[in-house]
Amino acid sequence: MDKFKAYLVTKQDRVCAAFTEMDESQLDDGEVDVRVEYASINYKDALAAIGRMPVIRRFPCIGGIDATGTVRASRSPLFKPGDPVIVHSHGFGVSHHGGYSPLARAPDGWVNRLPAGMSTLEAITIGVAGYTAALAVELMELNGLAPDKGKVLVNGASGGVASVAIDLLSQRGFHVVAATRKLAERDYLMGLGAAEVVDAASLPVGTRPLESAVWQGAVDSLGGEALAGLTRTMQRDGVIASIGNALGVEFTTTVMPFILRGVRLVGVNSDNDRALRDHLWQRLGSDLRPRYLANIAQVHPFEELPKMIDAVAGGQIKGRTVIRVQAPAA
Ligand SMILES: NC(=O)c1ccc[n+]([C@@H]2O[C@H](COP(=O)([O-])OP(=O)(O)OC[C@H]3O[C@@H](n4cnc5c(N)ncnc54)[C@H](OP(=O)(O)O)[C@@H]3O)[C@@H](O)[C@H]2O)c1
């Protein structure tokens, strides 16, 4: 590939992102070259591109923390040209050029072959967000989550992680309560399998160390005071999967939920080794396969990337914001 157009994040006085002409020699090292078909805009990608948080750890950096496509060239025994793959997490789009480019190069440990029968569009609709939701579901079930024990809250419900989490939990028989600031998205959320949709502002959070016990489980994309409220309102032996910080980083609570109710606060981090990534991607292609990816995907052409980054940063999106970088290989 000669020259190509990539979306590069740079920093001089301030962080700036723009389409820039680049060539192969400017890519970082790695064993696998991927012809990128789709990338996505995660919350983290939006923060990185507008410089709201110090997400990028090496400038300049092509943004995009996940991408799908086919292997163009491989110097790894694990992949061969033509393999359909996804690249995500670790340094991708953060300290190593990422997916907003028709050509990406990554270490083989960051690349997974797609499960049989999964298209590159389906895989990017899951993306790092859906992978993280699947990890959360697995960790919560290992910690005792079961459909007959009560309701599971998913907050930031119209977002990417939450949309896939609602789909996964509802298909496993859980009574899912979707909490959102966007009540206009009620039909969308019910369509993913939510049993109830509630206004995020109406959630009982309280101030006492222990409030009325409401939830057996919670998938938390928000952090901050939302997470604090969850600790106070969990049932005995309830499980919270802490995934994100869309609302805040710090939270204040007491040890009481943990020592008097046995509440389990489980950290979820998508930077996993190959064995766990392979395991979860296989599950996402089989018993954890999302049912409503076509509803969750909002697909936009590559040229609309800057506009859609602003929309994601402003919390104006629903589901997964997918960017079609170039047409899938014939
Ligand atoms: N741990 C990991 O490895 C990992 C992996 C992926 C993502 N994450 C994190 O998980 C979080 C969600 O990621 P995502 O890609 O799903 O983001 P997203 O698609 O932008 O969704 C976030 C949702 O949170 C809600 N929200 C946003 N700003 C808010 C605010 N100021 N106050 C209250 N609610 C707000 C909105 O939902 P409503 O409007 O419906 O309320 C929004 O749709 C992010 O913090 C991200 O960094 C972590």
pLDDT of 330 reads 76
Chain centroid to CA 201: how far? 23
Number of the ligand 1 atom closest to the C-alpha atom of 181: 41
The per-residue pLDDT of the chain, averaged, comes to 97
Query: 10 Å Cβ neighbour count for 146?
Result: 13
For residue 107, give the nearest of 125, 89, 123, 82 by alpha carbon. 89
Show the beta-strand stretches assigned E in 23-99.
Answer: 32-41, 61-62, 66-74, 84-88
Residue nearest to atom 44 of ligand 1 (CA): 244
Q: Which domain holds residue 239?
A: 129-267
* Length reported for the chain: 330
CA 218/CA 242 separation, integer angstroms: 8
Tell me: do 170 and 234 sit in the same domain: yes
Q: Is residue 152 included in any domain, yes or no?
A: yes
> Is 209 a domain residue?
yes
Alpha-carbon span 277 to 256, nearest angstrom: 34
- Which of 252, 267, 282 is where one domain is finished? 267
- Whole-number Å distance, alpha carbon 130 to ligand 1 midpoint, is 12
Say yes or no: 77 and 140 in one domain.
no
Same-domain check for residues 150 and 234: yes
HSE-CB for 71 with a 13 A CA cutoff: 23
Q: Of all atoms in ligand 1, which is nearest to the CA of residue 161? A: 16
User: Is there a contact between 67 and 124 (Cβ–Cβ < 8 Å)?
Assistant: yes
Index of the ligand 1 atom closest to the CA of residue 89: 3
Q: What are 96-115's pLDDT values in tens digits?
A: 999 999 999 999 999 999 99
**Ligand 1: lining residues by beta carbon, under 6 Å:** 42-44, 128-129, 132, 156-162, 180-182, 200, 221-222, 243-247, 268-270, 312, 315
Task: Kindly state the tokens that stand for 59.
Answer: 């400038």
Separation of CA 184 from chain center: 22
Phi-psi region of 4 (alpha: psi -120 to 50; beta: other; left: phi over 0): beta
CATH number, domain of 199, equals 3.40.50.720
Per-residue tokens: 304: 């609309």
Domain tally, the chain: 2
Q: Is the pLDDT of residue 316 over 90?
A: no
**Pair (145, 109) in one structural domain:** no
Nearest one of 182, 174, 173, 67 to 125, comparing CA atoms: 67
Same domain, 185 and 104: no
- Ligand 1 centre distance from Cα of residue 180 (Å): 11
| Domain identity same for 147 and 251 | yes
Q: How far, in Å, is the centroid of ligand 1 from the Cα of 154?
A: 11
> Any idea what the CATH number is for the domain that residue 108 is in?
3.90.180.10
161: CA distance to ligand 1 center in Å? 7
* CA nearest neighbour of 270 among 37, 94, 9: 94
Q: Return the pLDDT at 81.
A: 98
Question: Each residue of 44-91: pLDDT tens digit?
Answer: 999 999 998 889 999 999 999 999 999 999 999 999 999 999 999 999
Domain boundary among 250, 267, 284: 267
